[in-house]
Amino acid sequence: MPAVEELLPRVSKPARYVGGEYNSVRKNWDEVEVKIAFAFPDVYEVGMSYLGLQILYHAVNSRPDALLERVFAPWPDMETLLRSKGIPLFTLESHRPVKDFDILAITLQYELTYTNILNLLDLAGIPLLARERGEDKPLVVGGGPCAFNPEPLAPFFDLFVLGDGEEAVHELIDLWREVRRQGGRKQDFLRELARRPGFYVPSLYRQEGKGVVPLHPDVPARVRKRVVADLDQAPFPPRPVVPWVEAVHDRAMIEVFRGCTRGCRFCQAGMIYRPVRERTVPILVRQGEEVIRHTGYDELSLTSLSTVDYTCLLPLLAGLKKLRLSHPLTVSLPSLRVDAFAVGVAEGLTAGRKSSLTFAPEAGTQRLRNVINKKVTEEDLLRAAEAAFKAGWQRLKLYFMIGLPTETEEDIKGIGELVRAVLAVGERCGVPHGRLRVAVSVACFVPKAHTPFQWEPQISQEELRERLRLLQTELRREKRVELSWHEPRMSLLEAVFARGDRNLAPALLEAWRRGCRFDGWREHFSFPRWEEAFTAAGVDPYAYAYRRYAYDEVLPWDHLDAGVSKKFLVAEHQRAYRGETTPDCREGKCVGCGVCPSLGVRPVLAEEGRDVSLSTGLS
Ligand code: SF4
């Protein structure tokens, strides 16, 4: 395989491609039956921050009969070199060509990485269309949140895995081995897998109107997601690979729980990863100790969708504090709930300099926060801000979303008022005028599949820009406010693919052919190129993003079952328009989202021992 060393002096950040990091695993190729290349379709520093990669790396490499090696999207300078020298894309561990592996698994985290996926396949020398790949080419498998509506990618993939991957990956490897030992073909393998929960084989379905239907009677009409019922029993990587160059999140991580039932109506993760499954404190303390001992990190991040909601947070922190380690340990939380308790916890964790605290009120008025089911009041935010300023923070970061359903000018002005109120609290708390800062970060609403807002249109680019201008005007006089926003055209593209169907695949192919890469990076994103691609493919992107979908129309993801019932999503959508909030089922009462009875699982809270049986319809 290529003299990688020859390439390295000619690219930026060569450490992205060398492999051999601490805790990386290199197995004897000839002694292993099933070889998997795992691709993260973005750069090394982003991919190495992804806990899911480390979990699968550990799960597969723990098996004596399988290996998993990593590959990331090469930066354009490396792509140019690979193409000019005719070197196929290679993995980091063995520097072998990706096309030599049995399986290429690609994680689908974000719609704006889709052109990178096509680029990875092409650089690997793997035909882009699944139907053009023979038996000698790797099986291309996708997983992650975007697998819950993968239709725009359907022609390029052999298989999608829905839901938690820890158990599914073993089932996949076992069956692959069995079929191959018996001399079976890829199609035999896929046909068998398609009958099992969690595996969606797009070539065994066809698009009919907007919906997707099976081609054969033995293939299920709906594919149900996989759920790991007991996270304490799930494999966790005690020896994660330590990146050579600083990753976006450069710290050790333990996953405190999976799932979130707060019920924000725009949030896809909150719907597709239900129910909540917490790990118990002794398991987490042990995992924290192992991961720190085996990496040397001095920071441990407690990850989840909302860590402050962990029912045993204080006992967990106390347990971690008691660890006898060779070096001091800082514990961090990735995001904070908007309340004073959360600030108190953050204060307890922060030693020395306090840089910035982040809260996500999401909307500027109580009316709109009720619409999106963000159960946070202005008083909560101001109390949290006061607690933060009194504890010594001088800079707060606030996340908002614009373009939300029912949003009016008043809601945008409400953001300005809320920010000014936070500044006033800072002044009252005696933060020096020149040091007080509020960073306001604004995202544009993107309707996502499997959420109560999946039927909602995205507002037009003109309207989005108009609302951003209004917000700028609102905050113009506030020199202590740093305003930033997500590029609306990127959010438009995200909305197109988030609710897309198979008819989008030719446009995606066109965009890649026209040079689109790293669409999630502002410096690479080219909307004119995408417009040309849509025109060439005869696709109207606005029909996907700007249209209000009807309750009774068949949706391109209806055949994929995340467990939450459509009846619940409709009810939530209607409650949003009535301004009614829905409680979190962790507060004790099931609100009937449907996950538990339909998947035979239940919420697991650490607080009460092993699990908590709410009235979910399960005995
Ligand atoms: S079925 Fe009930 S208990 Fe289970 S996640 Fe949904 S709301 Fe919560």
CA of 332 to the centre of ligand 1 (A): 29
Question: What's the CATH number for 352-549?
Answer: 3.30.750.200
Q: How is the chain split into domains, by residue range?
A: 2-224, 227-335+583-618, 352-549
How many C-beta atoms surround the C-beta of residue 85 within 10 A?
11
Query: Could you give the 3-state DSSP secondary structure of residue 417?
Result: helix
pLDDT at 611: 43
Q: Is the pLDDT of residue 609 over 80?
A: no
* 481 pocket-lining for ligand 1 (C-beta < 6 Å): no
> pLDDT band at residue 143, thresholds of 50, 70 and 90?
very high
Provide the CATH topology of domain 227-335+583-618. Answer: Transcription Regulator spoIIAA (3.30.750)
pLDDT at 245: 79
Distance of alpha carbon 489 from alpha carbon 470, whole angstroms: 18
Q: Is the pLDDT of residue 32 over 60?
A: yes
> pLDDT band at residue 246, thresholds of 50, 70 and 90?
confident
Higher pLDDT residue, 335 or 353?
335
Tell me what the mean pLDDT of segment 381-403 comes to: 93
Q: How far is CA 575 from CA 58, 582, 616, in A?
A: 43, 8, 21
Distance of alpha carbon 305 from alpha carbon 255, whole angstroms: 10
pLDDT digits (tens, 9 = 90+) for 172-208: 999 999 999 999 999 999 999 999 999 999 999 999 9
Tell me what the mean pLDDT of segment 51-80 comes to: 96
CA of 615 to the centre of ligand 1 (A): 8
352-549: same fold as 227-335+583-618?
Answer: yes
Question: Angle 76-85/114-124 helices, nearest 10 degrees?
Answer: 20
> pLDDT band at residue 333, thresholds of 50, 70 and 90?
confident
Distance of alpha carbon 321 from alpha carbon 284, whole angstroms: 12
- Identify the top-confidence range among 11-20, 71-80, 341-350, 374-383: 71-80
CA of 277 to the centre of ligand 1 (A): 11
Atom of ligand 1 nearest to the CA of 276: 5
* 191 pocket-lining for ligand 1 (C-beta < 6 Å): no
Q: Is the pLDDT of residue 79 over 60?
A: yes
Distance of alpha carbon 131 from alpha carbon 149, whole angstroms: 20
* 595 pocket-lining for ligand 1 (C-beta < 6 Å): yes
pTM: 0.95
CA of 232 to the centre of ligand 1 (A): 20
> pLDDT band at residue 2, thresholds of 50, 70 and 90?
low
Kindly report the protein residue whose alpha carbon is nearest to atom 6 of ligand 1: 593
* 571 pocket-lining for ligand 1 (C-beta < 6 Å): no
* 596 pocket-lining for ligand 1 (C-beta < 6 Å): yes
pLDDT digits (tens, 9 = 90+) for 551-569: 999 999 999 999 999 999 9
Closest CA to 103 of 26, 45, 177: 177
pLDDT digits (tens, 9 = 90+) for 494-542: 999 999 999 999 999 999 999 999 999 999 999 999 999 999 999 999 9
Q: What phi-psi label fits residue 484: left (phi over 0), alpha (psi between -120 and 50 degrees) or beta?
A: beta
Tell me what the mean pLDDT of segment 600-619 comes to: 62
Atom of ligand 1 nearest to the CA of 590: 2
pLDDT digits (tens, 9 = 90+) for 254-279: 999 999 999 999 999 999 999 999 99
CA of 612 to the centre of ligand 1 (A): 11
> pLDDT band at residue 613, thresholds of 50, 70 and 90?
very low
C-alpha 507 chain-centroid distance: 24
Q: Is the distance from CB of 92 to CB of 27 less than 8 angstroms?
A: no
Distance of alpha carbon 157 from alpha carbon 154, whole angstroms: 6
Kindly report the protein residue whose alpha carbon is nearest to atom 3 of ligand 1: 590
pLDDT at 616: 43
Strands 560-561, 481-485: pairing is unpaired
> pLDDT band at residue 323, thresholds of 50, 70 and 90?
confident
Q: Is the pLDDT of residue 615 over 50?
A: no
* 616 pocket-lining for ligand 1 (C-beta < 6 Å): yes
